[in-house]
A = this chain, B = another copy of it.
Amino acid sequence: MATREEVAAFMAEAFPESRLVIESCGNRSSTVSLEVSPTDLRPGGTVSGPALMGVADAALYAAVLGEIGIVPLAVTTNLSINFLRRPEAGRRIIGVCKLMKVGRTLAVGEVSLYSEGVSEPVAHVVGTYAIPPGASR
């Protein structure tokens, strides 16, 4: 297991350019936020699909690391996203992840993505992480 501080420090070092914030992790879950920047926007004032996917991927990674400890070699193998509503350009994106399984070699989780302050999700993601053999628990 790893604390929010350990996960945040590891991810800040691995992805120094990232603007993602690990708000919480632990107990098979995590919350990640993204302050939307101009490069994340799309015409019409919405947030790009890849920006949403980046939030979801980070939330899954944070939840997995919170559970299995800092394992740099864990990699996403599958990510499936459904776009549900237009995100609002002026609001942070919040990703709320729950892991459904943390097995010996695979972890599976879902992430609901929100425009901060809006109750209905803008997108929903299911993703799988491969855990390298011998990763500490």
Contact = CB atoms under 8 A, between A and B. Distances in A.
A126 B80 contact: yes
Interface in A28-42: 39, 42
Q: How many copies does the complex hold?
A: 4
Contacts of A126: 80, 82, 124, 126
Interface size class for chain A?
A: 35 or more
Given A14-B43, A17-B39, A57-B49, A76 B84 contact: no
Interface string A44-69: 00001111011001000000000000
Interface of A: 14-15, 17, 39, 42-43, 48-51, 53-54, 57, 72, 75-85, 100-101, 105-106, 108, 110, 120-121, 124, 126, 128, 130, 133
